[in-house]
Amino acid sequence: MILVLGIIALILLLALLAFEWQYRRHPGNALVLTPGHWDLPVYEPHRYRLVGRLTFQNLTRRLEIMLPEVTAEATLLSGDSLEGITCTVQVTPNHPDAPPRPDGYWYGYIVKVGKTTQIEVSLDIRGKDLSQLKSVWVRVHYVTYGPQGRIPKVRHIIVPLKFPDPEESHRWRPTPKADVLPIRTHLLTHLDDPISVVKRYVLPHAQPGDVVTIGETPIAIMQDRFRHPTDVQPGWLARRLCYYFLPTSSLATACGMQTLVDIVGPWRVAGAFLVGAIAKKVLKKPGVFYQLAGEQARLIDDVTGTLPPYDQFIVLGPDNPQQVVDQIQQELGISAAIVDVNDLRAVKVLAASPDVPPSLLEEALITNPAGNADEQTPIVLIRPTFT
């Protein structure tokens, strides 16, 4: 009798595990919103009109996801006071099979399996002088309703509003083996791409033999590799491991640590922590955790780690940086490197063109000519002066 009960219990347990495994394989409310394409059809001294066309995509294979609510809000970032400046935000549905309501009411919409629908987000900005506006941080709030329940989500879009003149004069700075030129850009966002940015801001000043270097954080931002803490759900492991890191580490918070867990997996993080702790305590060898946890462990920047409005986000390291520099050299004919530089005279080269000596990058960038504050010079052009 006991044996029979044990077999029944085992069967029930296996059935429960199979049921849970099957549940975890389901995508849930897999409805995503793209950053979209943004235009500035009106760009006048007293009025800006910004229009974005964004797409909802149902990524599931057999589930319908409902959109009962969609709203948007915006925050202006400026070099001066915002007094007297107004910003009105409007969301208009562009469904393929239903017109928008004239009263602006958002009616619940079903996004079919594998289908898409679009929205138009328009901002009307008015004021006496808008020349000091640098960017606008748009937050599209939407609710997905489906098998996973009612899930509120937010899509963050940052759009630049101020664009430096690429031809404006710059000041070269001498170093022992090269001259360096910090290059100011607009606030780079996930609406940009490295090729276009280098072509616009660097090529007017470049000569044969020059090397363009770009910070790793701007590259990651252009790749849309940043997350708001409200989108991160710290798990059991992240909540506990974060206490063992120095307060200055980006892994010393539950959200920062969870971001790493989401990238490389909990088993790798846990294993790296255990081996790293033993290596540090027994062998007196620090830094093993970062070697085992992967490159992203060193590159994650927690909130406050970069300039506004990205100071509100966790910024990851760039994806496949070598491919980025290879593409720059192939398409634009200029050698390139992606680097991580700080004010502590530390230069880390993530990727570089084959013809770029690492020693040149280290000596030219050791004083951090790009800066880490609000200089907004994420690109440094290096011109070797030795033969």
pLDDT > 70? residue 369: yes
Q: Helix, strand, or coil here: 182?
A: strand
Contact 162, 134 (CB under 8 A): yes
Residues of the chain with CATH 3.30.1330.100: 173-224+317-384
- pTM of the complete model: 0.89
Angle between helices 254-264 and 266-281 (to 10 degrees): 110
* Residue 281 pLDDT: 87
* Residue 387 pLDDT: 59
SS (H, E, C) 218-274: HHHHHCCCEECHHHCCCCHHHHHHHHHCCCCCCCCCHHHHHHHHHHHCHHHHHHHHH
Tell me how many degrees the CA angle 344-314-287 measures, rounded to the nearest 5: 50
| pLDDT band per the 50, 70, 90 thresholds, residue 72 | very high
Identity at 223, one-letter amino acid code: Q
Over residues 104-119, mean pLDDT: 93
* Residue 169 pLDDT: 61
* DSSP for residue 311: G
| pLDDT band per the 50, 70, 90 thresholds, residue 325 | very high
* Residue 26 pLDDT: 55
Identity at 7, one-letter amino acid code: I
pLDDT > 90? residue 37: yes
Assigned CATH topology for domain 31-160: Immunoglobulin-like (2.60.40)
Q: Of 33, 52, 35, nearest to 124 (Cα)?
A: 52
* Residue 9 pLDDT: 72
| pLDDT band per the 50, 70, 90 thresholds, residue 284 | confident
* Residue 18 pLDDT: 67
Q: What is the pLDDT of residues 38-66, one digit of tens each?
A: 999 999 999 999 999 999 999 988 889 99
Q: What is the pLDDT of residues 114-164, one digit of tens each?
A: 899 999 999 999 999 999 999 999 999 999 998 888 999 999 999 999 999
CA dihedral 221, 226, 228, 233 (to 10 degrees): 180
Contact 108, 66 (CB under 8 A): yes
Strands 116-126 and 86-94: antiparallel
CA pair distance 253, 267, nearest whole angstrom: 19
CA pair distance 258, 297, nearest whole angstrom: 11
Tokens standing for 256? 């920062």
* Residue 70 pLDDT: 97
* Residue 25 pLDDT: 56
Q: Looking at the domain that runs over 173-224+317-384, which CATH code has it been given?
A: 3.30.1330.100
Among residues of the chain, what percentage have pLDDT more than 70? 94
Distance of CA 304 to the CA centre of its chain: 14
Distance of CA 106 to the CA centre of its chain: 29
Average pLDDT, the chain: 90
* Residue 20 pLDDT: 53
* Residue 24 pLDDT: 58
Q: What is the pLDDT of residues 230-276, one digit of tens each?
A: 999 999 999 999 999 999 999 999 999 999 999 999 999 999 999 99
Residues of the chain with CATH 2.60.40: 31-160
* Residue 13 pLDDT: 72
CA pair distance 217, 202, nearest whole angstrom: 18
Q: Helix, strand, or coil here: 80?
A: coil
Residue entry with tokens 């009411």: 105
pLDDT > 90? residue 306: no
Which residue(s) pair with 151 in the sheet?
144
CA pair distance 207, 250, nearest whole angstrom: 38
